[in-house]
Amino acid sequence: MVFEPKILGFLCNWCSYAGADLAGVSRIQYPTNVRVIRVMCSGRVDPVFIAEAFMNGIDGVLVLGCHLGDCHYISGNYEAELKMKMLGKVLSMINFADRVRLDWVSAAEGNRFAEIVTEFTEHIRKLGPSPIKNDKLKKQILDNLSATKFALCDSRLRALVARQRELTTEGNVYGNIIPIEEFEEILDNAIENEFIRHKILEKIKNEGKSVPEIAKEIKIEPHKVLQHIVTLRARGLVDVDQINEEIPTFISIKEV
Amino acid sequence: MSNEDIRIGVFICHCGTNIGGVLDITELIEYTKTLPNVAYSAGNLYTCSEVGLSNIRENIKEHNLNRVIVASCSPRTHEPLFRSTCQEAGLNPYLFEMVNIRDQDSWVHMKEPQKGTEKAKDLIRMSVYKASLLEPLEKMQVSVIPSAAVIGGGIAGMNAALTLANQSFKVSLIEKDSELGGLIRHLHKTYPTNEDASNILETRNLAESHKEIDVYKSATIEKIEGYVGNYKIVILQEKKMIEIEVGAIIVATGARVLSPEGYYNYNGKTIISQLELEGLLKENSVNAKNIAMIQCVGCRNEERRYCSNICCMTALKNAILIKEQNPDANITIIFRDIQAQGVTYEEYYRRAREMGIIFIKYLPDKPPIIKEDHLEVYNEFMNQVIGIPHDLVVLSMPLIANEDSERLAKMLKVPLEENNFFLEAHVKLRPVDFATDGVFVCGSAHWPADISESISQSNAAASRASTILSKEMLEVEGSTAEVNPDLCIGCEACIKICPYSAISKDEETDTAVVNKVVCKGCGVCGASCPQNAIIIHHFTSDQIIAEIVTYGGGD
Amino acid sequence: MSKISKNVMVIGGGIAGIQASLDLAERGIKVDLIEKNACIGGRMAQLDKTFPTNDCSICILAPKLAECFRHPNITLHTLSEVKNLSGQQGDFKVKIFKKARYVKEDECINCGQCIEKCPMRVEDEFDMKLRKRRAIYIDYVQGVPSIMTIDRENCLFFTKNACRICEKVCEREAIDFDQEDEEIELNVGSIIVATGYDIFNPKSLNSLGYGRYPNVVTALEFERLISASGPLGGHLTRPSDKNEPKKLAFINCVGSRDIKNNPYCSSCCCMYTTKEAMIAYEHNNEIETSIFYIDLRAAGKGFREYIERGENKYAISYIKGKVAKILEDEQRNPIIVYEDINTSQVKQFKFDLVILATTMVPKKDAVTLAKILGIKTNDFNFFKANSYYPQISSKEGIFLCGACREPMDIPSSVVDASGAAAKAAEAIMRG
Ligand SMILES: Cc1cc2nc3c(=O)[nH]c(=O)nc-3n(C[C@H](O)[C@H](O)[C@H](O)COP(=O)(O)OP(=O)(O)OC[C@H]3O[C@@H](n4cnc5c(N)ncnc54)[C@H](O)[C@@H]3O)c2cc1C
Ligand code: SF4
Ligand code: SF4
Ligand code: SF4
Ligand code: SF4
Ligand code: FES
User: In angstroms, rounded to a whole number, what is the distance separating the alpha carbons of residues A221 and A215?
Assistant: 6
Interface A-B, measured as beta-carbon pairs within 8 A, has a size of 152
- For residue C282, pLDDT beyond 60: yes
In chain C, pLDDT over 70 holds for what percent of residues? 98
pLDDT tens digits for range C348-407: 999 999 999 999 999 999 999 999 999 999 999 999 999 999 999 999 999 999 999 999
Q: Which of C51, C56, C232 to mutate to test the interface with A (most CBs of A within 10 A)?
A: C56
> Ligand 4 centre and the CA of C262: distance in Å?
50
Beta carbons within 8 Å of C425's beta carbon, 6+ residues apart: B167, B463, B466, C8, C24, C27, C29, C190
Determine, for residues B15 and C111 on separate chains, whether the beta-carbon distance falls below 8 Å: yes
Interface pTM, i.e. ipTM = 0.90
Determine, for residues A37 and B126 on separate chains, whether the beta-carbon distance falls below 8 Å: yes
Spell out the alpha helix ranges (H) of A128-179.
135-153, 155-162, 164-165
**Cross-strand partners of C323:** C338
Residue (of B415, B470, B406) closest to B439 by Cα position: B415
pLDDT tens digits for range A30-50: 999 999 999 999 999 999 999
Return the pLDDT at B555: 46
Determine, for residues C378 and B343 on separate chains, whether the beta-carbon distance falls below 8 Å: yes
Q: Please tell me the least confidently modeled range out of B248-262, C76-90, C102-116.
A: C102-116
Q: Which residue has the higher pLDDT, C22 or A93?
A: C22
Mean per-residue pLDDT, C298-302: 87
Q: Which residues line ligand 2 (CB under 6 A)?
A: B 13, 15, 18-19, 46-48, 72-73, 78, 102; C 109
- For residue C242, pLDDT beyond 70: yes
Q: Which residue has the higher pLDDT, C66 or C176?
A: C176
Mean per-residue pLDDT, B42-52: 88
Return the pLDDT at C1: 43
Task: Determine the topology of domain B257-398 in CATH.
Answer: FAD/NAD(P)-binding domain (3.50.50)
In chain C, pLDDT over 90 holds for what percent of residues? 77
Nearest to C387 among B15, B193, B305 (CB): B193
| Closest atom of ligand 1 relative to the B189 alpha carbon | 8
| Closest atom of ligand 1 relative to the B452 alpha carbon | 11
Residue (of A48, A141, A127) closest to A94 by Cα position: A141
Beta carbons within 8 Å of C394's beta carbon, 6+ residues apart: C375, C376, C384
Return the pLDDT at B126: 97
**Cross-strand partners of B13:** B44
Query: Does B192 sit behind a cis peptide bond, omega within 30 degrees of 0 on the bond before it?
Result: yes
In chain A, pLDDT over 70 holds for what percent of residues? 97
| Model confidence band, residue A174 (pLDDT cutoffs 50, 70, 90) | low
**Cross-strand partners of C137:** C149
pLDDT tens digits for range A121-147: 999 999 999 999 998 999 889 988 988
pLDDT tens digits for range C46-72: 998 899 888 888 878 888 998 899 899
Domain covering B478-537 assigned CATH 3.30.70.20 in the classification = yes
Query: Does C145 sit behind a cis peptide bond, omega within 30 degrees of 0 on the bond before it?
Result: yes
Beta-strand ranges (E) seen in B382-510 are 384-389, 392-395, 399-401, 439-441, 473-476, 481-483, 503-506
Mean per-residue pLDDT, C272-278: 95
Spell out the alpha helix ranges (H) of B197-306.
197-200, 202-209, 274-282
Neighbours of chain C (3+ CB pairs under 8 A): A, B
Q: Model-level pTM? A: 0.84
Chain B residues whose CB is inside 8 A of the A153 CB are 532
Q: SS3 sequence, B94-110?
A: HHEEEEECHHHHHCCCC
Return the pLDDT at B4: 67
Tell me what the pLDDT averaged over chain C comes to.
92
Positive or negative, the Cα torsion across A222, A228, A231, A236?
A: negative
Contact A107, A19 (CB under 8 A): yes
Beta carbons within 8 Å of B383's beta carbon, 6+ residues apart: C342, C343
- For residue B1, pLDDT beyond 50: no
Nearest to A107 among C54, C59, C112 (CB): C59
Q: How many CB atoms lie within 10 A of CB C279?
A: 21
Return the pLDDT at A172: 64
Q: Which residue has the higher pLDDT, C413 or B417?
A: C413
pLDDT tens digits for range B212-225: 999 999 999 999 99
Chain A residues whose CB is inside 8 A of the B547 CB are 37
3-class DSSP state for residue B30? Answer: helix
Nearest to B428 among C60, C298, C429 (CB): C60
pLDDT tens digits for range A190-249: 888 888 888 888 888 888 899 999 999 888 899 999 999 998 988 888 999 888 888 889
Contact B78, B84 (CB under 8 A): no
Domain covering B3-137 assigned CATH 3.40.50 in the classification = yes
Ligand 4: does its nearest atom lie under 6 Å from the Cβ of B423?
no
pLDDT tens digits for range C179-214: 999 999 999 999 999 999 999 999 999 999 999 999
Q: How many CB atoms lie within 10 A of CB A63?
A: 28
**Cross-strand partners of C184:** C96
| Model confidence band, residue A168 (pLDDT cutoffs 50, 70, 90) | confident
All structural domains of chain C: 7-99+181-196+363-430 (3.50.50.60), 113-169 (no CATH), 200-359 (3.50.50.60)
Phi first, then psi: give them for residue B479, nearest 5 degrees: -90, 80
3-class DSSP state for residue A20? Answer: helix
pLDDT tens digits for range B484-535: 999 999 999 999 999 998 999 999 999 999 999 999 999 999 999 999 999 9
Return the pLDDT at B2: 47
Taking CA atoms, B548 is separated from A84, B75, B127, B449, B552, in Å, by: 18, 20, 10, 52, 6
Mean per-residue pLDDT, C289-315: 90
Decide if A167 touches B, using CB distance below 8 A: no
Return the pLDDT at C2: 46
Beta carbons within 8 Å of A256's beta carbon, 6+ residues apart: A150, A198, A201, A237
Q: What is the DSSP string of C25-44?
A: HHTT--EEEE-SSSSB-GGG
Return the pLDDT at A125: 97
Q: How many CB atoms lie within 10 A of CB B46?
A: 19
Architecture of the domain defined by B147-255+401-474: 3-Layer(bba) Sandwich (3.50)
Domain ranges of chain A: 7-133, 154-252
Ligand 5: does its nearest atom lie under 6 Å from the Cβ of C29?
no
Same fold, B3-137 and B478-537: no
| Model confidence band, residue C343 (pLDDT cutoffs 50, 70, 90) | low
Architecture of the domain defined by A7-133: 3-Layer(aba) Sandwich (3.40)
Nearest to B80 among C64, C70, C388 (CB): C70
Return the pLDDT at B554: 54
> Ligand 2 centre and the CA of B73: distance in Å?
6
| Model confidence band, residue A166 (pLDDT cutoffs 50, 70, 90) | confident
- Buried/exposed code over C32-67 (b: 16+ C-beta within 10 A; e: otherwise): bbbbbbbbbbbbbbbbbbbbbbbbbbbbbbbbbbbb
Spell out the alpha helix ranges (H) of B441-553.
451-469, 493-497, 524-528, 541-553
CATH code assigned to A154-252: 1.10.10.10
Neighbours of chain A (3+ CB pairs under 8 A): B, C
The nearest CA of chain C is from the CA of A39 a distance in Å of: 16
Return the pLDDT at C3: 55
Chain B residues whose CB is inside 8 A of the C2 CB are 168
Q: What residue in C sits closest to B102 (Cα-Cα)? A: C111
Return the pLDDT at C131: 86
User: In angstroms, rounded to a whole number, what is the distance separating the alpha carbons of residues B200 and C149?
Assistant: 50
Determine, for residues A106 and C62 on separate chains, whether the beta-carbon distance falls below 8 Å: no
Mean per-residue pLDDT, B175-200: 95
Query: Does A222 sit behind a cis peptide bond, omega within 30 degrees of 0 on the bond before it?
Result: no
**How is the beta sheet containing B96-100 ordered, strand by strand?**
B38-44, B8-13, B67-72, B96-100
